[in-house]
């Protein structure tokens, strides 16, 4: 079971974490500001932000930028990651990809895989994005984004 975030999931965590510092005020960051600060190509940032907005993690207004919703519980890592890497967490099979193992339905490792995925989901759901350590720019140390090749 691969637990590495895809690039889009890493970008999403970076965007959400960058916006956590804006919660106290009503200030928004533009797509260009976020793209530059998080080192994310603007086209990918727009798609990432769209998924985060659909999930209620951030708010975006055309021409006005992005911010966290002013009310409600703070987003967790699970809220942010789920649209991009949630399929791995939601599967109810063994460690192998679906259909890759002929005995996956009766394999004793299936229950262990289910438990590990559940524990991981619970762990991610218990960590607010604002708990991530940030550098001086407000970018999470653990998710330094790299530009697309």
Q: Which segments of the chain have a pLDDT < 50? A: 145-149
pLDDT tens, residue by residue, 30-65:
999 999 888 899 999 999 999 999 988 998 888 889
Q: Which residue has the tokens 């080192």?
A: 39
Number of H helices, E strands in the chain: 5, 2
* Residue 66 structure tokens: 């992005």
Q: What is the pLDDT of residue 98?
A: 65
Q: Which domains does the chain carry?
A: 7-88+129-143 (1.10.10.10)
Helix (H) or strand (E) holding 86: helix 77-90
Q: What is the pLDDT of residue 148?
A: 47
Q: How far is residue 61's CA from residue 59's CA, in Å, rounded to a whole number? A: 7
Q: Between the CA atoms of 36, 137, 15 and 63, what dihedral angle is there, to the nearest 10 degrees?
A: -60
Q: How far is residue 103's CA from residue 148's CA, in Å, rounded to a whole number? A: 38
Q: What is the pLDDT of residue 145?
A: 46
* Residue 92 structure tokens: 């109810």
Q: What is the pLDDT of residue 64?
A: 86
DSSP state of 135: -
Contacts of 110 (CB under 8 A, 6+ apart): 93, 94, 104
């Amino acid at each position: 079971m691969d637990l590495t975030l895809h690039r889009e999931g890493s970008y999403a965590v970076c965007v959400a974490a960058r916006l956590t510092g804006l919660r106290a005020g009503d200030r928004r960051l533009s797509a260009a500001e976020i793209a530059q600060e998080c080192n994310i190509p603007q086209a990918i940032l727009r798609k990432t932000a769209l998924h985060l907005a659909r999930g209620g993690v951030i708010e975006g207004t055309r021409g006005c930028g992005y911010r966290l919703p002013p009310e409600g519980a703070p987003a967790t890592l699970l809220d942010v990651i789920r649209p991009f890497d949630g399929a791995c967490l939601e599967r109810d099979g063994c460690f192998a990809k679906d259909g890759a193992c002929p005995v996956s339905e009766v394999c004793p490792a299936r229950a262990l895989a289910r438990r590990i995925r559940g524990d991981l989901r619970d762990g991610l759901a218990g960590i607010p994005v604002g708990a991530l350590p940030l550098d001086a720019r407000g970018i999470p140390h653990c998710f330094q984004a790299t530009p697309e090749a």
